[in-house]
Amino acid sequence: MNMTDYIGALPEILLLALLCAVLLVGVFSADEDRNAAYWLAQFALLAVFAANTYIGARTRLVLFEGMYVRDSMAIVLKNFILAFAIIGLVYARDYLRARRIVSAEFYVLTLMAVLGMMVLVSAGSLLTVYLGLELLSLSLYAMVAMHRDSAMASEAAMKYFVMGALASGLLLYGISMLYGITGSIDISVVRNALADGGGGPIATYALVFIVAGVGFKLGAVPFHMWLPDVYEGAPTAVTTFIATAPKIAAFAMAMRLLVDGLQPLSSDWQLMLTWLAVGSMLLGNVVAIVQSNIKRMLAYSTIAHMGFLLLGVLSGNTGGYAGAMFYAIVYALMTLGAFGVVMLVAGEGSAEADRIQDFRGLAQRSPWFALVMLILMFSLAGVPPFAGFWAKWFVIKEVIATGHVWLAGLAVLISVIGAYYYLQVVRMMYFEQPEHMEEVHASGDTEIALSANGVAVLLLGVTPGVLMAVCIAAMRG
Amino acid sequence: MSNLPLLSICIWLPIVGGLWVLFAGARAPALAVKKESLIISAATLLFSIPLYTGFDLSTAEMQFVERLPWIPVFDMTYHLGIDGIALPLILLTTFTTVLVVLAGWEVVQDRAYQYFAAFLILEGLMLGVFAALDAILFYVFWEAMLIPMFIIIGVWGGKRRVYAALKFFLYTFLGSVFMLVGLLYLYFKGGSFEILDMHRLPLALDAQKWLFVAFFLAFAVKVPMWPVHTWLPDAHVEAPTGGSVILAAIMLKVGGYGFLRFSLPILPDGSYYFEGVMVALSLIAIVYISFVALVQRDMKRLIAYSSISHMGFVTLGLFMVFRIMQHSGSAEGAIMGMTGGMVQMISHGFISGALFLCVGVLYDRMHSREIADYGGVVNTMPKFASLMMLFVMANCGLPATSGFVGEFLVILASAKAGFWIAFLAATILVLGAAYTLWLYKRVIFGPVANDAVAALRDIGRREQVILIALAVAVLLFGVWPAPLIDVMRTSIENLVLNVVTSKLP
């Protein structure tokens, strides 16, 4: 262990230090709106973003004796996690303030979850994976429960915790078996050992548990049960956070475990992921149709999107991984915006605007934000010229390249089913008359961020090449 | 002039202009918005004229080519270009959009700026479809087109607009996604997204069959061919007048264009394999849908079915080529059939557009589309009645109107394909006359049906301008179709040559 190890991990170390500072500010500041904690948290994320971007070599670094990997995939994904956390905090602030549930702990837990994600993304050993995952998950459980007076939130937190603990246990069980076979928790050593010895049936047995753990984090069928309840029950600000950055981290977890570690078993996990993907796309899109609560609808939409993401992973080549990475980033961007609009429409009062009905006539109340939501909905549905189309395009292209044309056909067919419920939101906003003409308001920074979010989805749809190139380069490097 | 990127200007001027109208229009006075929209659409029309004057008739190569890198990691390019097949459709689009903007002038009150913005953006996207030479660029324009149309039907449509809008979107979306899979498969086989490279790519028969089915779903839904036409009557009936005009005049044509640009040249053997089915479906559309049109009680619905029937002529003209080549052995008949199909597309654009505008004129005054609510309109609206007479006659295929040229060419060519095909195709002359003239008789002639009809006022200057512009086009191409046919001749000859050459490896 030497200095370069610490320099390579500097972004995480910095985040940890600033996180403690936010905690202290929270304790000693008397401000009701927790402005100091908010701005310090934002500063922390920005500083870590800068540190992550500029510090260290561009080449692959293996630190702390293999525990920690800093490669270009990690750098890119961490930057997006940080960026989405920053925007998520901007959206969350108005919402939390209006509902009097603002507290410094929210910001601390957010930073802690981000730290967990960064550790997870950079995991070089099975233990680091578990460490990052638990840091992330425990923060999220607490965040879901933050709205103490809400029975729904408490119920959601409870469910999330119980299911999450079970999934962690499964994952840990799988890890222990891998350790038993290979005698190491270092992911690259595990890989080499499996490649040499094959591993036999016990390795496949371990794989099942690992896939279950990954599937739970992504929210893929049949490990999706927690997702709709948590999305609906948690305060929307927390849902926004859960739905975005952690999905990127979950993708990284899949890459670290399945691709970096269990590549020798790829034919097994490809088959498992195929069924997970098909099940997720089908169940997510079909069940979303009957939802009347937009948070629940977006939860099922998430399940469907994770199915598409898995299509990229299961194609088993660099292009497919790059496609899945592109999908994860674009998905998070779109979902962030969609929940941002949900919080915006909820407005200043303490009520939620989580029924699809609440979007009635938004086009007349606020033409601009209705347009932003229209862009996001069509993008989620995968209609060009928006970013979501390219995400689907990319993974489907890779699926066809691996020869699974039937799977591609099934995926596009299911995406048409999915279009239906996104169109319902557009329909409410544009085709129906509003119940009242009250204008939709938010603070200036929220409006700017939300506008930028919508425009980004459009611009990324017109020129997706840059981000595609970044993803491909990240997967090669 | 020739150095300007004319195609890009034609595509992006209305899109950017439309976005501008959308953002600036909320606060601007309605009249200013309308004037801006008219100026933008008129400017687009002006920019599209040099495409015609500068067009080289002697080559089937793509002209006015623009090529810029777009998504370099996958070698996708922003590649535009037109040949004699795309050019007439582009001119039809720019021409029709100006009329549609004029037609919405006084009619649209609710959120007018969004209405005009949607049509301008839609125009740019449709032009993009006709000009794109990169398959994915084509697909992006093709799908993006659905969004403004969805909004147009859903916001400014009739009573069942929500149902019609959703049906329109999902139906056409379902058709198109399989085309995407097909295009990606072609990329996987040939390593290029260039449409022209795909034209040259050898493909095994099995692959061609599957791809043909995938493309068929996309294009046949758009045309629409029987039996995937059911979205069209709903969409047409519920859409506002401008939406119906664009749907009938241009959006249906992208289906025919798709067959010409993708199915036939990329999959000649697949097309040959399915040509019997295609000819049969076309004939069913012509005969059966004509009967369906005959029993309609709603004017718009009747014209919608008439559109399906007339588009059957287009697909018949395109897919008869194999049969004609077999029977006569010379390409001349095949070229004639395909030319007929193309002329029919353009002519139908004028005629159906005009007929929907005529219904719009009546609907604006009476707020009813029921034929039974009308009668004796000629007594109160003589100018309107005489103009509508022309379009009705053109719809029946009266000589000296553009409707005659396309139908005549297709029927003449079909005689070389077989007696029964020619016979069934020719029934449109009888059936088409039956339903359109009967419609005209019930609405226009007879005694004044009720007080509302008695109180009708004749068309104003704005409406006259629109209908006369279309009347001139219908008559011009009816008596002198040469400019239209000359433009497409070389491209169609080249296409027929490609289509009859097997691409099996």
Q: What is the pLDDT of residues A27-48, one digit of tens each?
A: 887 777 788 888 999 999 999 9
Specify whether the backbone of B478 is left (phi greater than 0), alpha (psi in -120 to 50) or beta: alpha
- Going by the DSSP 8-state scheme, the letter that residue B144 receives in this structure is H
pLDDT at A198: 66
pLDDT at A137: 94
Q: Are strands B76-82 and B63-71 parallel, antiparallel or unpaired?
A: antiparallel
- Going by the DSSP 8-state scheme, the letter that residue A256 receives in this structure is I
Phi (first) and psi of residue B370, to 5 degrees: -70, 130
* Structure tokens given for B76: 């996708």
Distances, alpha carbon A209 to alpha carbons A224, A270, A279, in Å: 15, 15, 18
Is the Cβ of A173 closer than 8 Å to some Cβ of chain B? no
Is the Cβ of A413 closer than 8 Å to some Cβ of chain B? yes
What is the rounded average pLDDT of the residues A276-290? 93
> Peptide bond before B202: cis, by omega within 30 degrees of 0?
no
Write the burial class of residue A327 (CB in 10 Å: 0-12 exposed, 13-18 middle, 19+ buried).
Answer: buried
8 Å CB contact of B151 and A430: yes
Whether B260 contacts B318, CB under 8 Å: yes
Q: What is d(CA A96, CA A107) in angstroms, rounded to the nearest whole number?
A: 11
DSSP-based three-state secondary structure for B78:
strand
Specify whether the backbone of B150 is left (phi greater than 0), alpha (psi in -120 to 50) or beta: alpha
Query: What is the SS3 string spanning B438-476?
Result: HHHHHHHCCCCCCHHHHCCCCCCHHHHHHHHHHHHHHHH
Residue of B147, B177, B184 with shortest CB distance to A416: B177
pTM of this structure: 0.93
pLDDT at B1: 46
What is the rounded average pLDDT of the residues A365-392? 92
Q: Per-residue DSSP letters for B180-218?
A: HHHHHHHHHHHS--BHHHHHH----HHHHHHHHHHHHHH
Q: What is d(CA A104, CA B204) in angstroms, rounded to the nearest whole number?
A: 65
* Structure tokens given for A184: 């190491």
pLDDT at B329: 75
Whether B393 contacts B401, CB under 8 Å: yes
Distances, alpha carbon A317 to alpha carbons A270, A307, A476, B39, in Å: 11, 17, 10, 52
Whether A434 contacts A364, CB under 8 Å: yes
Per CB-CB distance under 8 Å, the chain A contacts of B146 are: 383
Q: Are strands A61-63 and B76-82 parallel, antiparallel or unpaired?
A: unpaired
Q: What is d(CA A92, CA A238) in angstroms, rounded to the nearest whole number?
A: 8
Q: What is d(CA B105, CA B111) in angstroms, rounded to the nearest whole number?
A: 12
Which residues have CB under 8 Å from A80's CB, separation 6+? A245, A248, A329, A332
Whether B175 contacts B222, CB under 8 Å: yes
Q: What is d(CA A293, CA A290) in angstroms, rounded to the nearest whole number?
A: 9
**Best residue in B70, B137, B184 to probe A by mutation, most A CBs within 10 Å?**
B184
For residue B353, count other CB atoms closer than 10 A to its CB.
28
Q: What is d(CA B406, CA B286) in angstroms, rounded to the nearest whole number?
A: 14
Per CB-CB distance under 8 Å, the chain A contacts of B188 are: 397, 400-401
| Closest chain A CA to residue B77 | A465
Is the Cβ of A51 closer than 8 Å to some Cβ of chain B? no
Q: Are strands A68-70 and A61-63 parallel, antiparallel or unpaired?
A: antiparallel
Q: What is d(CA B125, CA B68) in angstroms, rounded to the nearest whole number?
A: 18
8 Å CB contact of B174 and A416: yes
CA of B155, closest CA in chain A: separation in Å?
Answer: 5
Whether B115 contacts B152, CB under 8 Å: yes
For residue A238, count other CB atoms closer than 10 A to its CB.
31
Per CB-CB distance under 8 Å, the chain A contacts of B185 are: 400, 405
| Closest chain A CA to residue B156 | A431
Per CB-CB distance under 8 Å, the chain A contacts of B72 are: 465, 469
DSSP-based three-state secondary structure for A447:
helix
Residue of A378, A412, A465 with shortest CB distance to B181: A412
Q: Which amino acid is residue A25, in one-letter code? A: V
Q: Which residue has the higher pLDDT, A356 or A31?
A: A356
**Best residue in A373, A426, A429, A466 to probe B by mutation, most B CBs within 10 Å?**
A426
Residue B79's DSSP bridge partners are B67
The candidate with the shortest Cα–Cα distance to A168, out of A205, A128, A133, A206, is: A133
Within a 13 Å sphere around the CA of A423, how many CA atoms are in the beta-carbon half?
26
Question: Would you place residue A56 in the very low, low, confident or very high pLDDT band (cuts 50, 70, 90)?
Answer: low
Question: Would you place residue A350 in the very low, low, confident or very high pLDDT band (cuts 50, 70, 90)?
Answer: low
Q: Per-residue DSSP letters for A58-114?
A: SS-EEEGGGTEEE-HHHHHHHHHHHHHHHHHHHHHHHHHHHTT---HHHHHHHHHHH
Give the CA-trace dihedral at B174, B178, B179, B184, to 10 degrees: 140
Per CB-CB distance under 8 Å, the chain B contacts of A378 are: 147
Residue of B72, B144, B178 with shortest CB distance to A385: B144
8 Å CB contact of B181 and A396: yes
8 Å CB contact of A472 and B185: no
Whether A255 contacts A87, CB under 8 Å: no
Q: What is d(CA B474, CA B480) in angstroms, rounded to the nearest whole number?
A: 10
| Closest chain B CA to residue A460 | B71
Per CB-CB distance under 8 Å, the chain A contacts of B114 are: 363, 367
Residue of A378, A400, A472 with shortest CB distance to B185: A400
Which H or E run contains A296?
Answer: helix A294-314
Residue of B72, B174, B184 with shortest CB distance to A400: B184
Rg of the Cα atoms in chain A: 21
Choice among A53-62, A325-334, B76-85 with the minimum mean pLDDT? A53-62
**Helix crossing, B146-156 with B161-190: angle to 10°?**
180
pLDDT tens digits, one per residue of B421-431: 888 888 888 88
Q: Which amino acid is residue B151, in one-letter code? A: I
CA of A286, closest CA in chain B: separation in Å?
Answer: 15
Residue B194's DSSP bridge partners are B134
Q: Which residues of chain B have pLDDT under 50?
A: 1
CA B366 to chain CA mean position, Å: 28
pLDDT tens digits, one per residue of B353-384: 999 999 988 888 888 888 888 888 888 888 88
Residue of B70, B178, B184 with shortest CB distance to A465: B70
DSSP-based three-state secondary structure for A293:
strand
* Structure tokens given for B14: 């209305």
8 Å CB contact of A383 and B73: no
Write the burial class of residue B103 (CB in 10 Å: 0-12 exposed, 13-18 middle, 19+ buried).
Answer: buried
8 Å CB contact of B71 and A468: yes
Choice among A77-91, A339-353, A387-401, B62-76 with the minimum mean pLDDT? A339-353
Q: Per-residue DSSP letters for B352-369?
A: HHHHHHHHHHHHHHH---
Residue of B111, B139, B184 with shortest CB distance to A396: B184
- Going by the DSSP 8-state scheme, the letter that residue B401 receives in this structure is S
> Peptide bond before B14: cis, by omega within 30 degrees of 0?
no
How many beta-carbon contacts under 8 Å exist across A and B?
91
Per CB-CB distance under 8 Å, the chain B contacts of A469 are: 72-73
- Going by the DSSP 8-state scheme, the letter that residue A220 receives in this structure is -
Which H or E run contains B119?
Answer: helix B112-131
For residue B451, count other CB atoms closer than 10 A to its CB.
7
Residue of B74, B143, B185 with shortest CB distance to A383: B143
